């Protein structure tokens, strides 16, 4: 297992190198001048040219690339072209907000999605199944930002239970959770719909397998058959889904962050694109790529635990 | 599995208990303090640059206005009157024998530079003012250097400075450059040098009623009351500027009481709807950003005046104003808006000069036929994704379709559009802008001095120079009007509309002044702004 992890980590190095190179080139393909975006439309052409030189944008592309790689190897993600702050400081500030939102949404999705899916599969075509399917369909149909606005309307503007905007303070866990509830529910309900549908479909397949019939024939309790035999076998595709969710949510939570006016990595990335802040954009994408690699490795490890058939050695 | 179930149950219980507790705290936590912090939801994702000599985005202008002062200031809530700010009295000018002009400014002796993380509070002196104006005048340290070209600034003593300008200028041109706007904001030398130019971007230090306290990226800027402010301690304990880019969220947060003031949507319908909510007041006020059309007079087929005239006759101001609705949208009859400044054309003046073109598609088609385009033609245009541009381009495309001109409209990101239009990508360029006086509008967009922003390649330099050279304000205004007439007569530029600012507030908020127009693009929050008890 350790050897496998070590191999995956080694493989991640060339992957990251390719990703970093593509990111470097891609951000420069977007039309628009970072110096002009930073200085605004009042700036003179001389001032824009001067800032371009200060930011190294007047250097040949290869030279910019070498400088960038050199800094990256020293774990220096650079300074923002707009605020001149360290990009890592900016990312460090927003990352915990994105991670807590992602984790909370995934936990809610699993906590409700899996039981709903299992119940729907076990009681196929019953009232519970239909209710579960309708809820799933609703979750799949409602865009996260719209659901967010609905939640704000009812729970903030009308009832005044939860705050409409902002993120809580990490030094105050109560305040933090208080601010997290609506955004997490907004994202989590939609993910829950995917989880419940996937769980239902996987469980329906697994429940008709021979080994489940054998387990039942042996006289095992239905609970044991379900959870020990059927659910464990059905867990692998659900784990893949969770991996995809986590990766996707880190990037796609931007709409929820926007609606709830929360800081976050997705929002930071959109801001960097709008302002043509190349260094910040590169830094965010490198961090994002890093997460994808790490999460994939974690998912691989969980596979082996969940399903002994998956062998690496 | 039992363990897992238990963990999930525990987690959910924790969330429920914590949130209930949080809700309780939130409901009862409102301050028992004497002064309140005003929470202001602004339409932005984050700050851009809080160095006032670079600040140009709406959110940046609002924040620096609360932190800094000018030598003179626009009377709160207006843009037509100026009064002393850091200056003890209105500056006066004397003409020198060598043809230059000297403005003498006496400073108040009770103005304190705010403390910063690196410096203590200290009394502002002429050295600070000289430093600030020299910084504003340098292309390396300011976006607004061109407004200070040819200036020599000297300290006469600790409380007096002299500004010598190479060519005498009128009050109307000089005073706005030392007012609380753009390069006119006074930066204290010591904190700027201690924090450095880069540090100042996110950590501004001035002399105003509020002091910078904290910046949280993408979330907020918190300002604290400056109790040593020379006009007296503010009625608020501070201002928290929250960055909320989504209009619906701002509206709902205002409704839930989390915001005291929220930037609205520039739509009359929105203003009407929100003003019907209990306890909410909507203010519609200037200054508005002007939408004007620039026609590139050097690109075929627009190098033909007949074609340019046809374009003007295809346009209906009402069609564009309908996007915002009155009173948010108002017609302007020249690129310089007569409602906001001297030098613009009123409807009567434009009509009298024969440059108020009413929509006449039949005549426009005749003109195109006369120019050899009886079957029309096709053009490619780019627009920003921002509504203020995109929607107007879409209306234009529809107007031009009616005279046989097909517009292939490509929507690009705002920054990309700015880049592309400066490379003459658009033969027809809409620009949305507010500028503080006619000189800036005309020189930036209709003279060679404007460089890449002279989208029409039309030049009214002679009139602009002549206007600069006179110290007679009335004569100056006439020259600017003539420039507006010329550029519309030759179908190079055309004023369409201005869009006023729309802000909503709790009715407990009193800005402390009437709201006619505010140059820094927000309602104006100062030491007199207060929140009364609910």
Please indicate, yes or no, whether residues B405 and B369 belong to a single structural domain of this protein: yes
* Structure confidence at residue B141 (pLDDT): 92
Please indicate, yes or no, whether residues B97 and B191 belong to a single structural domain of this protein: yes
Please tell me what DSSP assigns to residue A275: T
Largest CA distance in chain B: 96
Which of B226, B227, B142, B220 minimizes the C-alpha distance to B177? B142
Distance CA B248, CA A204 (A): 42
| Nearest Cα residue in chain B from A175 | B22
* Structure confidence at residue B31 (pLDDT): 39
* Structure confidence at residue B24 (pLDDT): 35
Asked if the C-beta of A271 comes within 8 angstroms of chain B's C-beta atoms, the answer is yes
Among the ranges given (A253-267, B312-326, B490-504), the one the predictor scored with the smallest mean pLDDT: A253-267
Distance CA B111, CA B133 (A): 17
Q: Which residues of chain B lie closer than 8 angstroms to A188, CB-CB?
A: none
Distance CA A245, CA A45 (A): 45
CA angle B147/B47/B224 to nearest 5° reads 95
Contact B497, B317 (CB under 8 A): yes
Pairing label, strands B238-243, B261-263? unpaired
Distance CA A228, CA A207 (A): 12
Q: Which residues of chain B lie closer than 8 angstroms to A175, CB-CB?
A: 22, 25
The domain locations on chain A are 108-263+291-306
Main-chain phi, psi angles of B239, to 5 degrees:
-135, 130
Question: Among the residues of A123-162, which ranges form H helices?
Answer: 127-141, 144-151
Instruction: With cut-offs at 50, 70 and 90, classify the pLDDT of residue B426.
Output: very high
Contact check, Cβ <8 Å, A173/B27: no
Q: How far is CA B503 from the centre of its chain?
A: 14
Please indicate, yes or no, whether residues B242 and B373 belong to a single structural domain of this protein: no
Please indicate, yes or no, whether residues B178 and B107 belong to a single structural domain of this protein: yes
| Complex ipTM | 0.77
With H, G, I as helix, E, B as strand and everything else as coil, classify residue B527. Answer: coil
- Name the helix (H) or strand (E) containing B113: strand B112-113
Rg of chain A on CA atoms, in Å = 24
Asked if residue B3 has pLDDT above 60, the reply is no
Tokens, residue B113:
């530079």
The residue written with tokens 């400066």 in the block is B422
**Distances in Å between the alpha carbon of A41 and those of A34, B303, B453?**
12, 27, 9
The residue written with tokens 């700027």 in the block is B192
Asked if the C-beta of A82 comes within 8 angstroms of chain B's C-beta atoms, the answer is yes
Distance CA A273, CA A279 (A): 10
Distance CA B196, CA A226 (A): 66
DSSP string, A80-107: -TTT-SBHHHHHHHHHHHHHHHHHHHHH
Tokens, residue B184:
């006119």
Please indicate, yes or no, whether residues B247 and B115 belong to a single structural domain of this protein: yes
Q: Which residues of chain B lie closer than 8 angstroms to A166, CB-CB?
A: 219-220, 242
Distance from CA of A14 to the nearest CA of B (A): 33
With H, G, I as helix, E, B as strand and everything else as coil, classify residue B212. Answer: strand
- Name the helix (H) or strand (E) containing A216: helix A210-217
Distance CA B453, CA A82 (A): 22
Tokens, residue B91:
């500056």
In a domain, B425, yes or no: yes
Question: Across the interface, which of A156, A174, A268 has its CB nearest the CB of B18?
Answer: A174
Residues 6+ apart with CB under 8 A from B508: B260, B279, B531, B532, B533, B534
CB half-sphere exposure, B172, CA atoms < 13 A: 21
**Distances in Å between the alpha carbon of B270 and those of A285, B219, B284, B323, B325?**
38, 25, 11, 12, 10
* Structure confidence at residue A302 (pLDDT): 77
Asked if residue B275 has pLDDT above 50, the reply is yes
| Nearest Cα residue in chain B from A51 | B140
Q: Which residues of chain A lie closer than 8 angstroms to B289, CB-CB?
A: none
Distance CA A50, CA A36 (A): 11
Domain of residue B81, CATH code = 3.40.190.10
Q: What is the pLDDT of residues A171-228, one digit of tens each?
A: 888 889 999 999 999 989 888 888 898 889 888 888 888 888 888 888 888 888 888 7
Question: Across the interface, which of A33, A167, A258 has its CB nearest the CB of B219?
Answer: A167
Domain of residue B427, CATH code = 3.10.105.10
* Structure confidence at residue B504 (pLDDT): 97
Contact B368, B505 (CB under 8 A): no
Distance CA B418, CA A182 (A): 38
Q: Which residues of chain A lie closer than 8 angstroms to B413, CB-CB?
A: 30-32, 273-274
Which of B19, B74, B148, B96 minimizes the C-alpha distance to B526? B74
Contact B479, B467 (CB under 8 A): yes
Distance CA B310, CA B330 (A): 23
Please indicate, yes or no, whether residues B245 and B394 belong to a single structural domain of this protein: no
Q: What is the pLDDT of residues B382-396, one digit of tens each?
A: 999 889 999 999 999
Q: Which residues of chain B lie closer than 8 angstroms to A267, CB-CB?
A: 45, 218
Q: What is the pLDDT of residues B148-179, one digit of tens each?
A: 989 999 999 999 999 999 989 888 889 999 99
Contact check, Cβ <8 Å, A85/B202: yes
Range of the domain at B126: 37-260+508-531
Which of A241, A250, A252 minimizes the C-alpha distance to A96? A250
Asked if the C-beta of A188 comes within 8 angstroms of chain B's C-beta atoms, the answer is no
Distance from CA of B256 to the nearest CA of A (A): 4
Q: What is the CATH number of domain A108-263+291-306?
A: 1.10.3720.10
In a domain, B526, yes or no: yes
Mutate to test the interface with A, among B218, B255, B277 (most CBs of A within 10 A): B218
Asked if residue B74 has pLDDT above 90, the reply is yes
Contact B106, B213 (CB under 8 A): no
Q: What is the pLDDT of residues B179-236, one digit of tens each?
A: 999 999 999 999 999 999 999 999 999 999 999 999 988 889 999 999 999 999 999 9
Asked if residue B125 has pLDDT above 80, the reply is yes
- Rounded to a whole number, what is the distance in angstroms from the first to the last CA of chain B? 53
Please indicate, yes or no, whether residues B70 and B198 belong to a single structural domain of this protein: yes
Residues 6+ apart with CB under 8 A from B313: B357, B358, B359, B360, B361, B363, B364, B367, B403
Average pLDDT over every residue of B23-28: 36
Pairing label, strands B428-433, B261-263? unpaired
Contact check, Cβ <8 Å, A261/B243: yes
Q: Which long-range contacts (CB under 8 A, 24 or more apart) does B30-33 make?
A: B33/B237
In a domain, B7, yes or no: no
In a domain, B391, yes or no: yes
**Distances in Å between the alpha carbon of B490 and those of B278, B331, B417, B423, B487?**
51, 20, 26, 23, 5
Distance from CA of B212 to the nearest CA of A (A): 16
Distance from CA of B84 to the nearest CA of A (A): 26
In a domain, B42, yes or no: yes
Average pLDDT over every residue of B298-316: 96
Main-chain phi, psi angles of B354, to 5 degrees:
65, 35
Q: For residue B160, with 0-12 CB atoms within 10 Å meaning exposed, 13-18 middle and 19 or more buried, which class applies?
A: middle
Please indicate, yes or no, whether residues B41 and B164 belong to a single structural domain of this protein: yes
Asked if the C-beta of A39 comes within 8 angstroms of chain B's C-beta atoms, the answer is yes
Asked if the C-beta of A35 comes within 8 angstroms of chain B's C-beta atoms, the answer is no
Contact A87, A283 (CB under 8 A): yes
Contact check, Cβ <8 Å, A271/B54: no
The structural domain count of chain B equals: 2
Question: Across the interface, which of A39, A47, A174 has its CB nearest the CB of B22?
Answer: A174
* Structure confidence at residue A215 (pLDDT): 85
Q: What is the pLDDT of residues B395-425, one digit of tens each?
A: 999 999 999 999 999 999 888 898 899 999 9
Residue B242's DSSP bridge partners are B41, B220
Asked if residue A237 has pLDDT above 50, the reply is yes
Question: Across the interface, which of B48, B218, B248 has its CB nearest the CB of A149?
Answer: B248
Percent of chain B with pLDDT over 90: 81
Please indicate, yes or no, whether residues B379 and B447 belong to a single structural domain of this protein: yes
Distance CA B172, CA B124 (A): 27
Please indicate, yes or no, whether residues B142 and B230 belong to a single structural domain of this protein: yes
Please indicate, yes or no, whether residues B85 and B191 belong to a single structural domain of this protein: yes
* Structure confidence at residue B2 (pLDDT): 43
Contact check, Cβ <8 Å, B219/A260: no
The residue written with tokens 């005073």 in the block is B175
Contact check, Cβ <8 Å, B258/A163: yes
With H, G, I as helix, E, B as strand and everything else as coil, classify residue B116. Answer: coil
With H, G, I as helix, E, B as strand and everything else as coil, classify residue B408. Answer: strand
Asked if residue B18 has pLDDT above 50, the reply is no
Contact check, Cβ <8 Å, B48/A36: no
* Structure confidence at residue A274 (pLDDT): 79
Residue B222's DSSP bridge partners are B214, B240
Please indicate, yes or no, whether residues B105 and B196 belong to a single structural domain of this protein: yes
* Structure confidence at residue B11 (pLDDT): 47
In a domain, B279, yes or no: no
Contact check, Cβ <8 Å, A162/B19: yes
* Structure confidence at residue A308 (pLDDT): 66
């Amino acid at each position: 297992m350790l050897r496998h992890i070590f191999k995956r980590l080694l493989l991640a190095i060339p992957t990251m190198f390719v990703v970093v190179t593509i990111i470097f080139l891609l951000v420069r393909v977007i039309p628009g001048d970072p110096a002009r975006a930073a200085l605004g439309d009042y700036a003179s052409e001389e001032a824009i040219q001067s800032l371009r030189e200060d930011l190294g944008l007047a250097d040949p592309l290869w030279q910019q690339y070498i400088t960038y790689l050199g800094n990256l190897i020293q774990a220096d993600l650079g300074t923002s072209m707009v605020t001149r702050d360290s990009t890592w400081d900016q990312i460090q500030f927003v990352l915990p907000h994105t991670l807590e939102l992602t984790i909370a949404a995934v936990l809610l999705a699993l906590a409700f999605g899996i039981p709903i899916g299992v119940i729907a599969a076990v009681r196929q075509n019953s009232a519970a199944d239909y209710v579960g399917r309708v809820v799933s369909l609703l979750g799949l149909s409602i865009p996260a930002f719209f659901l967010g606005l609905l939640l704000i309307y009812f729970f903030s503007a009308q009832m005044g239970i939860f705050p409409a905007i902002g993120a809580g303070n990490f030094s105050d866990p109560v305040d933090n959770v208080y601010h997290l509830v609506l955004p997490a529910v907004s994202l989590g309900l939609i993910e829950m719909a995917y989880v419940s549908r996937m769980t239902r479909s996987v469980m329906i397949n697994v429940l008709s397998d021979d080994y489940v019939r054998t387990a039942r024939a042996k006289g095992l309790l239905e609970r044991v058959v379900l959870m020990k035999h059927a659910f464990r076998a059905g867990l692998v595709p659900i784990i893949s889904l969770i991996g995809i969710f986590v990766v996707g949510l880190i990037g796609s939570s931007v709409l929820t962050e926007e609606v709830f006016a929360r800081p976050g990595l997705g929002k930071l990335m959109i801001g960097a694109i709008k302002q043509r802040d190349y260094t910040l954009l590169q830094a965010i994408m490198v961090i994002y790529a890093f997460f994808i690699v790490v999460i994939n490795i974690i998912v691989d490890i969980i596979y082996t635990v969940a399903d002994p058939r998956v062998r690496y050695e | 599995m039992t363990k897992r179930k238990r963990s999930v149950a525990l987690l959910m219980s924790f969330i429920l208990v914590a949130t209930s507790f949080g809700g309780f705290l939130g409901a009862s936590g409102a301050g028992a303090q004497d002064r309140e912090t005003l929470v202001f939801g602004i339409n932005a994702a984050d700050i851009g640059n809080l160095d006032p000599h670079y600040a140009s985005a709406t959110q940046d202008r609002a924040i620096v206005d609360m932190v800094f002062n000018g030598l003179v200031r626009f009377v709160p809530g207006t843009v037509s009157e100026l009064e002393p700010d850091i200056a003890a009295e209105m500056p006066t000018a004397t003409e020198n024998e060598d043809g230059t002009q000297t403005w003498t400014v006496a400073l108040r002796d009770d103005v304190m530079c705010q403390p910063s993380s690196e410096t203590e509070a200290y009394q502002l002196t002429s050295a600070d003012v000289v430093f600030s104006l020299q910084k504003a005048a340098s292309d390396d340290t300011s976006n607004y250097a061109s407004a200070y070209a040819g200036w020599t600034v000297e300290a006469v003593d600790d409380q007096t400075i002299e500004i010598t300008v190479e060519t005498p200028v009128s009050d109307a041109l000089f005073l706005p450059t030392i007012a609380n706007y753009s390069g006119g904001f006074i930066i204290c030398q010591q904190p700027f040098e201690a924090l450095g130019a880069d540090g100042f971007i996110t950590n501004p230090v001035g002399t105003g009623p509020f002091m910078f306290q904290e910046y949280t990226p993408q979330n907020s800027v918190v300002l604290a009351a400056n109790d040593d402010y020379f006009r007296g301690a503010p009625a608020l304990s501070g201002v928290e500027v929250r960055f909320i880019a989504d209009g619906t969220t701002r509206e709902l947060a205002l409704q839930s009481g989390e915001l005291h003031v929220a930037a609205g949507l520039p739509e009359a319908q929105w203003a009407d709807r929100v003003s019907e909510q209990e306890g909410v007041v909507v203010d519609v006020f200037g200054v508005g950003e002007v939408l004007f059309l620039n026609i590139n007079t050097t690109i075929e087929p627009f190098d033909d005046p007949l074609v340019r005239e046809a374009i003007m006759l295809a346009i209906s101001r009402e069609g564009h104003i309908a996007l915002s609705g009155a009173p948010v949208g108002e017609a302007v009859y020249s690129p310089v808006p007569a409602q906001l400044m001297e030098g613009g054309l009123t409807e009567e003046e434009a009509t009298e000069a024969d440059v108020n073109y009413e929509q006449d598609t039949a005549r426009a088609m005749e003109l195109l036929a006369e120019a050899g385009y009886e079957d029309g033609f096709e053009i490619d245009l780019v627009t920003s994704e921002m509504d203020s541009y995109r929607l107007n381009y879409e209306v234009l495309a529809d107007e031009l379709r009616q005279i046989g001109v097909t517009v292939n409209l490509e929507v690009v990101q705002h920054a990309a559009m700015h880049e592309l239009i400066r490379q003459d990508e658009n033969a027809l360029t809409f620009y949305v802008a507010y500028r503080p006086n006619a000189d800036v509008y005309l020189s930036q967009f209709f003279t060679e001095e404007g460089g890449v922003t002279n989208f029409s390649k039309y030049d009214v330099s002679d009139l602009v120079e002549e206007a600069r050279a006179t110290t007679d304000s009335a004569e100056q205004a006439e020259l600017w009007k003539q420039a507006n007439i010329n550029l519309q007569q030759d179908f190079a530029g055309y004023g369409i509309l201005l869009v006023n600012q729309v802000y909503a507030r709790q009715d407990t908020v009193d800005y402390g002044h009437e709201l006619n127009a505010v140059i820094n693009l927000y309602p104006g929050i100062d030491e007199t702004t207060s929140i009364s008890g609910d």
